[in-house]
Amino acid sequence: MPKISAAAPAVLLALLCMAGLLSIEPTVRATADEQEPIGAVVPRVDAIVQHYMQDAHVPGLTYGIIRHGRVEHIGVMGVQDLEARRPVTPTTLFRIASMSKAFTALAILKLRDDGKLTLDALAETYVPEMRGWTYPTKDSPRLRVRDLLSHAGGFVTDDPWGDRQTVLPEADFTRMLRDGVPFTRAPGMAYEYSNFGFALLGRIVTNVSGMPFKDYIEGNIMRQLGMSDTGYDITVSPSDRRALGYRWENGAFSREPDMVHGAFGSMGGVQTTATDYVKWVTFLLSAWPPRDDAESGPARRASVREMAQGLNFPQRVQRPGLSTPACTQAMTYGMGLRIAQDCDAGLTLAHGGGYPGYGSYVLLLPDHDIGIFAFANRTYAGPSGAVWDIAMELKKAGWFTGRTMPVSPALTRMYDTARSMFAARRIDPGRASLAQNFLMDRSEANWQAEFDRLSNQAGTCRTETPIVASGALSGAFSWACDRGTISGELLLAPTNPPSIQSLTLRFVP
C-alpha cells in the first residue's frame, strides 16, 4: 500500500481544557514519550478505513493525516477505476463535492478584505437579477451575502437536486435568477442547507472579481497554495489519473456520468488530489493561534478563523463513527464549514461531500493542530464515520495535546499577588490590585476566614506552580499541598492596568 509518512514532531507539555461553562481545570499534556509514533498508529487507522470500504462498497479511497503543518500519513486503497483497475495513488484525482464550499466562502471573505464587497450588503447588490424577486412574506428581509454563507437564506434543502445542477450553463443560471425561485421560509429564520445559495455566492465572486469564479479561486487561492492539480474543469485534467465515479445499486457497480464544469461548480465542483489537499488543510490550520507573524497565505489568518464562527441556529448532533462513549455535539454552520464543540476534540471544523460517484469528508481540529480527510469514488459514500474513528484513534495514541497559551505579564503579576494574599492569609498584600467588585462581592473578613480554612485543611502548599492561561486575563492553577491539592482560577477585570475581579480556590483532599 503506497503511503507517505513523516516522523511525529516533539510536542508541548501542558493543556488547558474547559470543564463546563465557568470552571477551568488545568490538564497535563501527553509528553513525546507518551505519544505513539505514526508507524504504530497506521495499521489501526488502515484497518478502520478498510472496514469502511468493505461495508460501504467503495472501489477506491485515499485519506490523509496532517499534524503541526506536516503530512504524517497519506493512505491509499483500492482502485481508481474498475475497468483498468488502476490503483489509487496520492495523486489520483477525486471530486470532493460540497467540500468545495469552503473555497467559495474564503473567496468571498478575500474579496471582502480587498474592499470589494461587504457581508451585510444585500446579495442583489452584486447580482442584479435578484432585485425583482418575490419574497415569501411582506415582512421578509431581503437576502444578505452573510445569509447565503450560513445557509440561512430561506431556500429549501436541495440535495441531491443541486448536485446534478453542476453542469448548468451560466446563461441558464442567469435566466433562473431573473425568473426568481420559491422560498421555503423567510430568510434569516433557520438553517437549511442550500446548494443553490452557494451557487449564488459563486455568481457574486464572478461579478465582483470581474472574472469567472473558477478562474478567481484557482488563481488567487489554489495556485497560491501550490495546488497545481486542483480545479473545477475535469476535462482538462489527465484522464489516466482520475478516480472514476461509481454507484452501488442492486448488488453491482454502475458508472456515474462525469459532470462538466458549470454554474453550480462553486457549491461542489472541485477536483483535487490527496497531495494537493494537504496544502489546503495545512493552510487552514495555520490560522491558529492568532499571532504577530507576517501573513503568508492567500488570505488573512483572521479571515480563515472567521470561517469557524457559527452563524446562529445551533443544533445537537451525534458524533459520527463507532467510537465510544458517544458524544452529542453542539453544531452550527460557519462559512463553508460545520463548526462543533466535541466532547473529546474541542473545537472542530468539518464538512462532508456527497456527489454522484463520490463521497468525501474533512475534519480539522485546531485545538490539537490536526487535520484528517478522506476521498472515495462511490456515490454519496460518506466517510465521516471513518474519519472520526481515525480521530479517536489518534486521541488514544496521545496525539490530542492541545495548544499552550502564553501567560501575559498582567496575568503573571496578578497571580503573584494572589499567591501573596494566600500566603499571608489576608487581603493586604494585594489590596491595590483588586478590582472594584472584589471586596463588594465578598468581605475582607470572609476572605481572611477562607484563607485560614484552606490553609488549615491543606497544610503547606507549593504555590510556585505556574498558572496555565486560558486567555490574556484568565487562567487556572493547581498547588500540591501536604494533605491534598488546592485548585483555583484567576479572572482579571478589563481595567487599565488589569486588576483581580475574581479568585476561586478549592481544596481537594
Express each pLDDT in 208-246 by its tens digit: 999 999 999 999 999 999 999 999 999 999 999 999 999
- pLDDT value at position 23? 30
Return the pLDDT at 343.
95
Closest CA to 403 of 364, 368, 370: 368
Place of cell 498547588: 479
Dihedral angle at the C-alpha atoms of 282, 288, 293, 298, nearest 10 degrees? 50
Looking at residue 31, its pLDDT comes to: 58
Please report the pLDDT score of residue 34 as a whole number: 84
Grid cell 462543533 in the structure block, residue: 340
> Residue 324's pLDDT is what?
82
CA–CA separation, 107 and 196 (whole Å):
17
Backbone angles phi, psi at 285, to 5 degrees: -65, -25
> Helix (H, G, I), strand (E, B), or coil: what is residue 346?
strand
C-alpha cell recorded at residue 247: 454507484
User: Distances in Å between the alpha carbon of 230 and those of 100, 203, 455?
Assistant: 11, 20, 63
Q: How far is CA 230 from the centre of its chain?
A: 21
What pLDDT is attached to residue 62?
Answer: 98
pLDDT of the residue at 32: 59
Q: Which three cell numbers stand for residue 103?
A: 473555497
Find out whether 368 and 402 touch, Cβ atoms under 8 Å: yes
pLDDT at 33: 64
Does 2 sit behind a cis peptide bond, omega within 30 degrees of 0 on the bond before it?
A: no
Backbone phi, psi, residue 14, to 5°: -140, 150
Using 70 as the pLDDT threshold, list the residues of the chain that sit under it.
1-33
Looking up cell 497506521, which residue turns up? 42
Is-above-0.75 flag for pTM? yes
Indicate the SS3 state at residue 347.
strand
